[in-house]
Amino acid sequence: MNRTQCTVAGLVWLSCLVAAVAAQPSPAPPDRPVEVAPGIFQIGYLTHPRLTECSGVVASRRHPGVFWVHTDGGGPKKQVLFAVRRTGQPIKEYRVVGAMLQDWEDIALDDAGRIYLADTGNNDAQRQQVAVYEVDEPDPNGFGSTVQINRTWPLRFPAKPLDCEALFVWQGYGYLIAKLSDDRRAELYRFALTNAGSVQLLEWVARLPITSPVTGADLSADGQRLAVVAKAGAWLFDINGDPARAGRAPWRRARFKDQRIEGCCFVQEGLLVTAETRQVYLFTDAAFGGHRP
């Protein structure tokens, strides 16, 4: 075989290999939980083809077994709210209408059936203003394929633009945790949910004992515990209903470094955590040194 024939044959072989890899189905959810680190189990895999970079997750309080997730980024193709099971299988999806999201990074909800979308990504600190949006939680067993934005909170950080990937809400306020690097401690800010529509200057609340870049957060339904995930793992804070206590409250850590975890939410057994790479994990009390999340 001459050089030209070898080159052609090699290209054909490479094309076939690429096609074969692309044709492989996404890994199925594990049949049973698989322990991947002490007290940390993989319990699922996000199988929807468009959930390529899951950035946020929250457990529905109205529809048992339903979790709301979304991808990182913005634009019409990415502003979609997905309902999935805890093992990652899709249930339904909804297109978010009423605004153009630029960099959707996290999701939260309240007891009144409202979902909050954190359009707060700011990787290059180019955005002088970020936003949080509110939609009504849809019924995954009902009709319809869109959710309408009801309220918007345009927001500015007090000193300079910051990147943010973590949101939770509590007692009339939305809370954002700035994503900082260079071993700087994470900072917690808040804004009033009553002042929708007008630009708010975020109010500094506390500095957290986390020097790893924060990628997600959730508050327990009773407001007693705050969970934060970052590049180096997960943290739990006993805040007793006061987010400002997170800067000085007792805390516990589960080490899980460089696994690209992005979102978290409380479940009965512990903390459910999603990764950009589609894995769904359960962090049990053993992951946090034997203390219940």
Q: How would CATH label the architecture of 34-288?
A: 6 Propeller (2.120)
Question: Over the stretch 138-189, which tens digit does the pLDDT of each residue have?
Answer: 999 999 999 999 999 999 999 999 999 999 999 999 999 999 999 999 999 9
The CA angle 272-277-279, to the nearest 5 degrees, is 35
Reported as a pLDDT band with limits 50, 70 and 90, residue 124 is: confident
Q: Name the pTM for this structure.
A: 0.89
Cα 24 from chain centroid? Answer: 27
Average pLDDT of span 123-129:
91
Can you tell me which residue has the tokens 């939260």? 108
Strand partners of residue 94? 81
Cα 50 from Cα 46, distance rounded (Å): 9
Average pLDDT of span 83-99:
97
Nearest to 230 by CA among 282, 286, 165, 157: 165
pLDDT of residue 273: 98
pLDDT of residue 103: 96
Question: Over the stretch 238-269, which tens digit does the pLDDT of each residue have?
Answer: 999 999 999 999 999 999 998 999 999 999 99
- For residue 224, is pLDDT > 90? yes
Taking phi over 0 as left and psi of -120 to 50 as alpha, with beta for the rest, 210 belongs to beta
- For residue 220, is pLDDT > 90? yes
Reported as a pLDDT band with limits 50, 70 and 90, residue 28 is: low
- For residue 7, is pLDDT > 50? no
Q: Which residue has the higher pLDDT, 42 or 289?
A: 42
pLDDT of residue 293: 65
Per the CB < 8 A criterion, the answer to whether 33 and 42 are in contact is yes
State residue 98 phi and psi, 5-degree precision.
115, -10
Tokens describing residue 28: 């199925």
> For the chain, which residues make up each domain, given as ranges?
34-288
Per the CB < 8 A criterion, the answer to whether 55 and 70 are in contact is yes
Nearest to 217 by CA among 45, 55, 1: 55
Q: Which residue has the higher pLDDT, 123 or 63?
A: 63
Work out whether strand 214-219 and strand 225-230 pair parallel, antiparallel, or are unpaired. Answer: antiparallel
Can you tell me which residue has the tokens 């006061």? 242
